[in-house]
Amino acid sequence: MRLGVLDVGSNTIHLQIMDAHPGARPTPTTNLKVELRLTEYLDKKGAITPEGSELLFQSIEDAIAHGKEFKTEEILAFATSALREAKNGKEIIDEINHRFEIDLQILTGVEEARITFLAVRRWLGWSSGKLLVLDIGGGSLEMATGNDESPESALSLPLGAARLTRDFLSENPITAKNLNVLQAHVKTILSSKIPKGLMAHDANHFVATSKTFRTLARLGNHWYGDKPQYLEANALVGIIPRLMDMTTEERASLPGVSSTRAQQIVAGAVVAKTVMEILEITELEICPWALREGVILKWLDWNER
């Protein structure tokens, strides 16, 4: 059957359409992505502004029209940290569900981590052993570890690349002082919030998903290495100062770096480097499956019962 996954994230509204059935690998057919940084449309009270809401409604209308054009049978819609944390997030979701007759659900950060973990496990298989999975989104960092399809421990922290850029690195170019403040903030949060189950993860396979990690791996390969499917901790030591010395426009000219990602990639690199140091990870394998694929897999599992 043809399913659509509508991901209302902090950076983009992304519809991924896949052909899928139980027991088979979901096959992408088409997608529609609209760059809409919802966190830039927050008022002083933390609510999404009327302008931001209208842009969001238009993006979802376009996504649903795209799904109908490609004869999508069902759209599985979810929202992550931007709408989850907005003061008027519930009202906006209610309006979306009423206006477009869909069932947009808010995922908690831990649900994001657990569903992403399922996708990684299915992609890599049982032979990959005990996994530790990391995912840097626009609003949050997710991590999970375990031997099975459900992680033993999962965590979400407010260390997303868009959030940290807005709060610490809004200037262009970035100053060393602000970078140092950001690094200290990230280290403090990670050191105090990662539970013992994740600190003593005992994993033998370390994996990263989603766009920030893929972009960092591509930059590391471009400048230093020959392993495009991996991100090495040593590469981040060089990546961060090189990115910091560039303007946003210069970063956008790098391979694999979009204009949106160019603004956020320094913050993302700081999070990646710090979490790898704290968890003593020297190398991360980049997995092409992440949250959207996990949503499809979980839905198929549920409907097979």
- 83 with 165, same domain: the answer is no
Domain edge (last residue) among 106, 127, 145:
106
Residue 5 forms beta bridges with which residues? 16, 76
Query: What span, in angstroms and rounded, lies between the C-alpha atoms of 40 and 43?
Result: 9
- 250 with 152, same domain: the answer is yes
Rounded to two decimals, what is the model's pTM? Answer: 0.95
pLDDT digits (tens, 9 = 90+) for 67-125: 999 999 999 999 999 999 999 999 999 999 999 999 999 999 999 999 999 999 999 99
Q: What's the mean pLDDT in 14-23?
A: 94
Counted domains in the chain: 2
pLDDT digits (tens, 9 = 90+) for 221-251: 999 987 889 999 999 999 999 999 999 999 9
- For residue 227, the enclosing domain spans 110-287
Q: What's the mean pLDDT in 274-281?
A: 97
Given a cut of 70, is residue 216 above it in pLDDT?
yes
pLDDT digits (tens, 9 = 90+) for 135-179: 999 999 999 999 999 999 999 999 999 999 999 998 888 999 999
Residue 299 lies in a domain: no
Q: Please give the torsion angle defined by the CA atoms of residues 257, 261, 264 and 268, in that order, rounded to the nearest 10 degrees.
A: -70
Q: Is the dihedral of CA 215, 176, 169, 207 positive or negative?
A: positive
* Domain CATH number, residue 257: 3.30.420.150
pLDDT at position 305: 66
